[in-house]
Amino acid sequence: PTLISQVNPELRAHAAEAALKDEGYFDSKVDFDTVYDKNDSLKAKIDYTVNYAHKSRLGSVTYMRSPFPRIDSIVSHTLDQGLLHTGDRFSYTNLDAERTRIATVLKDSGYYFFEPKFVKYLADSTSHGNVVNLRVLVGSGADRKALAPCTIDSVHFTLDMGAGLRSQHFDT
């Protein structure tokens, strides 16, 4: 048997509210009620009531210029692959996916120490009901190492010409 004290319905209701907020249902409410069995006072169940608020959508999505022109250029050239668009449903999952996409693009461009956590969002949900306007900040809070592209200084090739032949060394 499961005891009500082990279930912790208050914590579960709070977790459900947090999950709804993560998906853009900001004013949703989850309540619970303990219902005891009329025939057996040792049995009870928990009834949860979910009151959904209106789903929030993305309004404007603006990628702010950063003090790093090369990073700005790389990101702006990949905006057609972006995951955040006006009218899309608001979702933390999508925000995290866009962070990861930007970090991957920058890593592929030589910024090997750039991490998703260096992409920040400023969200404004006060201008219109159920609309969230986003400003995307790329490179915010990143250290010098993350903002410096890695380069290849030189490449050396050594060809093994097989048995009895002399190896040759080439520099680029």
Percent of the chain with pLDDT over 90: 69
Top-confidence residue, 13 or 3? 13
Return the number of other C-beta atoms located less than 10 Å from residue 101's C-beta: 18
Indicate the average pLDDT of the chain: 90
Per the listing, tokens 């900001």 go with 26
Amino acid at residue number 82: G
Return the number of other C-beta atoms located less than 10 Å from residue 89's C-beta: 13
Across the range 105-124, mean pLDDT stands at 96
pLDDT in tens, 133-145: 999 999 988 999 9
So what's the pLDDT on residue 161?
64
pTM assigned to the model: 0.78
> Under a CB-based contact definition with an 8 Å cutoff, are residues 88 and 120 in contact?
no
Q: What whole-number distance in Å separates Cα of residue 152 and Cα of residue 150?
A: 7
Is the pLDDT score of 167 beyond 90? no
Q: How many residues does the chain have?
A: 172
The 3-state DSSP class for residue 89 equals strand
Q: What whole-number distance in Å separates Cα of residue 138 and Cα of residue 141?
A: 9
Q: What whole-number distance in Å separates Cα of residue 48 and Cα of residue 50?
A: 6
Strand partners of residue 62: 135
The 3-state DSSP class for residue 65 equals coil
Give the residue among 106, 133, 132 at the shortest CA–CA distance from 119. 106
pLDDT in tens, 34-90: 999 899 888 899 999 999 989 999 999 999 998 889 999 999 999 999 999 999 999
